Amino acid sequence: MTERNYNEKLRAVFLAAIMVTSVFAGTVAFAGSATAFDVSSLNDPSSSGQEYELENEQVLFAGQKNLVRFTSSRAPSGDVEVRRITGVGASNTGSIDNSEFVEQVSIDGPTATTPSGDSSAEIDTEGYSSGRYFLSDSAFTDASNVNGDSELIFEVTQQDVSATFAEDDQPALPGTFGDSRVELDVSSARSNFNANVSADGDLDDTELFNIMATAQLADVSGIQVSDTGKIDIRSSLGGTNGNYEYESAKAAFEGALAASSVTGSAPPQITDSTSVTIAQPGGGTTDAAGVTVDRTNIGQFAASDGDEVTNLGHRLQISANSQVQIGLYADGQDGEDLNFDEKALITSGEWGEEDVSFVDIGENDYSFNFEVVDTESSASADVSVSERDADASLSQGVQSVGAGDIAEFNLTLSDNDETYVQIGSEDTNFVEVLYLKADDASEPMEVRFNTRLIGTTQNVSKGDVYDTSNVETIESAIYSAAKPNAGPATGSGSDITAAGSLTPRDLYEDDGAFASSASSATASGDTYFEAYLDAMDIIDASSSGGENVGDQIVRPIQPAEYQISVAGYTGEDKVFDADPGGEANNQLASQSLELTQPEIGDITVHTAPEDDADATTDVQELVDAATVRDEIAVDDRVVVQVEATGIFGSLVAGVPTANNYDSDVTTDSGPQSVDFDRLSEGASTERLAELVETNENVDFEVIAESETGNQAPLEIDLTSSTSDSDTFLVLDQDNGQFFLVADTSSDSAFANGDAPDEEVEFEAFMEYDADDGDNRYEFAGASDSGGAGTSSAPFSQRSGGSYQNFPYLLQGEVVDSTAQLEFAPRSITFDNLNDDGQVQVANSESAELSGTTNVAPGTDAEIRLVSSNASSSFQLGNDVNITEDGSVTTTYDLSNQEVGDVFGANYRVEGSSVDSTEGVIVESISEDEETNETEPEPEPEPEPEPEDDGEMNESTDDGDASTDDGTPGFGAVVALIALIGAALLAVRRQN
């Protein structure tokens, strides 16, 4: 016969607060006889003058059953008709005008289950269409008795049901619990229903139960689910002997249902009493988490094959998750077509957007069927389960960065969105472990970290050390496990949060698992990460050593090669093993970070056109605008390029000083104003001033080489008396250099005086000094035993003065660099000057004027010519291009002027006059004159007389061009004298 879902044999499990129901009843068998229906709960129809009493007078979903009780005085003589109403009275009085026959229903005569000898019937609405129905029989009074009486009418409607697995959560990854979770939404307009769950025989009942129950158990306080799917009932639920772990959700359920008293260290069990608690190892019935057990009849979930009815079952209810209930059918109850061993049951209303877990489920594309137990409704949903083929890649095999600067790695994940990264190992005596989850797993994650701060813990947070891009979550073992202000072995720490539901003790091992708690691994007893460090002898976390995560280093991490390892987690091994020196058990990718010895290289001085110091933060734009030159015209920008490494981490962090250049500074020996954007957006020179004034023994200055009287030498001001428009830093860590830019037009750019108004010699100087104190730099709190102590802070050196040295040099070492420069007022020197200091320009349509200026190339400049004593007045102006060597050249059309015309030449920069000189128009400028070079006096050679073309000379009043002696044009003697005079003038100009 057709399977009736609501008649199946079962055990129902409802998980969380945690309420369990268990009933054991005998099996009752009937053969070839109709079933007697118990209608004793229905009212006696005769008490209200009705023909019959319906169990459900409202709405039934097609497929549900309705019980009917007939009074003994009006019992039907035979079968009863079920009729569907097809028309009601036009006057809307509720009278039935038309109806149609649906089926005949057999009557069950008086039995022990029908009080007072009344009769009963069961109406099975399977196949009924939506509509209103009533019963009809000749024994009843006229059909008008039904008219308008809603208590004698019931309605049938169709149940809608839908099921969907969230696409965004697929494919489900069965390797770890965290990755195996998928949201399932089973919905219906019906608020309360039960449904069988199956997967076309591809999953058995145990697998189905674990899928539906595991994620729900994980949400219960006091219960943890490991990444392998094990159920760990924590000691917080009560008991004295700690936790107990089950292999799966089903195993935990069956363990809880074990009907025996708890003794010794037995697993959590349930006693046979009506209402008890899930007891913990050690015995007792404590109820620390309010976890109670009830035993009630669950006959509504009874299973039937038509000949047998059984009332066996259990249920465990998760009240933490809106009373979610999950059922598991009893073993050995299969019929020929029923396949109970391939089904589970969800109960108590719709399963609305609840998680399921496919941990440890085989790869496949599954089609889940959800069949409502008491109606004809069903839905299906598909889900994909596939093993993770996790991989990762790092963009660089080797990265070289100055110690104290900003290091980075770019990590791309494949078939995964989270991973672990370890920085360092036992070889470098320093280890950090990160958990990373990508925001967009298809794009690289970028992680930058400050090598000046990493490993220091006092007044330092994770956000001070790390800067990320495309990272949704970053967690640090150091900064999650650190106890920033506590002494060794005191306070309480917490381990890094694990990926998915991976517990901290699953992260680390030492050739096998650590003890069940961190306190069993180390006397310090705070975190598993500290136990991991202790196993590698990086710290001594024993009771005698008393060190913790803050004791890895006594000075900033030093130049060395640090391994960056990306680790996958399979659920089978721990992630990192201390035994081989701190390695990933499943390494997906690695790269080497080479921290190099900080250095100072060349200092190069540039000039750049007048502008604010912070006019550009782009290195290439600044370099393109600047010109190497050691003479700087006042009002231009001076750009001091310094090749240096080892200070960028301090500039990003902002070092504390007593001067408080920045209002945000707190002088607590920690980073003051962390901003990783300074690497690309530039920084206030206050950051450099702070670094110079700390005990890091970094010195930098651009200062005059001489002083006036008792006044301190003039220097570029790096402190808060300036604004970024006066002085500014452009950082270029990628190329190991920074640029100090100063606007020399601003008096505020200088300290101890205003901007120079005459030539002044300056020196640019930078130094790292480790020859100040007698010992290498160490953090405050460090001891001779080598421990840094948790009180250490990144910018606080060990007391006594003998440790005040640059942190990255050996004691006694010093590195420095210098460069000379000169500030001078803007000026120009013109070419082709005569003995009177006049600039000579040829009487030509392309008369050239040239000179040399100290103004920065790229500056807007102009040379104006204005007549002062000329045959005809003129005023000309040309923009000029200043070349890299400072030369300027331009041409004018002076062909309409006369030789000997005098003019003023005015050199203007940015609209202001810089220099003026007098000029004169000459017949021509020889090549030698143009270069102002002295050549041997040339032999004068007679030139042929020019022909009279009518244009060379103006005619006289009488129109005769001849001289007094009648010779046309110049006479021979006059011409010779003029030639000799011109030659002598040329020699004089050269001299």
Q: How many whole angstroms separate alpha carbon 300 and alpha carbon 455?
A: 62
Given a contact cutoff of 8 angstroms between Cβ atoms, the answer to whether 718 and 686 are in contact is: yes
Kindly state the helix (H) or strand (E) to which residue 702 belongs, with its residue range.
strand 698-704
The runs of H, that is alpha helices, within 588-664 are 619-625, 648-653
Give the number of residues written for the chain. 991
Name residue, tokens 């591809």.
202
Q: What backbone phi and psi angles, to 5 degrees, belong to 631?
A: -105, 125
The Cα–Cα gap between 380 and 198 comes to 10
Please give the average pLDDT of every successive group of 10 residues along the chain, which has 991 residues. 36 34 27 40 62 74 83 71 79 67 80 63 88 77 51 85 93 85 91 86 93 84 77 54 68 57 36 30 30 31 34 52 65 61 74 89 95 85 89 92 98 90 96 94 96 92 96 89 36 53 71 58 62 90 80 93 90 82 93 97 98 97 97 98 98 80 56 94 95 93 87 91 90 98 96 94 98 91 55 78 92 97 97 96 96 97 96 96 96 96 97 96 78 51 49 38 40 45 42 37
CA 796, CA 799: separation in Å to the nearest integer?
8
C-alpha–C-alpha distance, residues 810 and 892, integer Å? 65
**How wide is the angle at C-alpha 740 spanned by C-alphas 735 and 744, nearest 5°?**
150
The whole-angstrom separation of Cα 691 and Cα 702 is 15
Q: Are 354 and 174 in contact (CB under 8 A)?
A: no
**Pairwise CA distance, residues 395 & 513, whole Å:** 33
**Nearest CA-CA partner of 408 in 421, 420, 417:** 421
C-alpha 777/C-alpha 812 separation (Å) is 11
Task: Read off the tokens for 158.
Answer: 């169709």
Burial of 194 (0-12, 13-18, 19+ CB in 10 A): buried
pLDDT at residue 527, as a whole number: 76
Element (H, E) at 217: helix 205-218
Helices first, then strands: H and E counts in the chain: 13, 59
Strands 398-402 and 587-596 turn out to be: parallel
- DSSP line for 547-585: --GGGS-SSSPPSEEEEEEEE---SSS-SEETTTTSEET
Ramachandran bin of 891, using left for φ above 0, alpha for ψ from -120 to 50, beta for the remaining angles = beta
Report the pLDDT value the prediction gives residue 878, as an integer from 0 to 100.
97
Question: Which pLDDT does position 342 carry in this prediction?
Answer: 86
Using CA of residue 362, residue 367, residue 373, residue 379, what is the dihedral sign? positive
Residues paired with residue 244 on neighbouring β-strands, in sequence order: 233
Q: Which residue's entry shows tokens 């005459």?
A: 758
DSSP 8-state secondary structure symbol assigned to residue 968: B
Residue 296's nearest CA partner among 317, 282, 278, 268 is 317
How many CB atoms are located within 10 Å of the residue 250 CB? 21
Give CA separation, 852 vs 123, 236, 830, 881, in Å.
Answer: 113, 86, 6, 11
The CB density around residue 985, as the number of other CB atoms within 10 Å, is 14
Give the span between the Cα atoms of 611 and 617, in whole angstroms. 13
Are 202 and 368 a contacting pair, CB within 8 Å?
Answer: no
What pLDDT shows up at residue 827? Answer: 97
HSE, CB side, 13 Å, CA atoms: give it for residue 59. Answer: 8
- The predicted pLDDT at position 270 comes to 33
pTM of the model: 0.68
Please, how many CA atoms are within 13 Å of residue 950, restricted to the half-sphere of its CB? 0
Q: Which two tokens stand for residue 676?
A: 């990783």
Q: Identify whether 171 is preceded by a cis peptide bond (ω within 30 of 0).
A: yes
Which amino acid, one-letter code, is at 145?
N
Q: For residues 318 and 273, is the Cβ–Cβ distance under 8 A? A: no
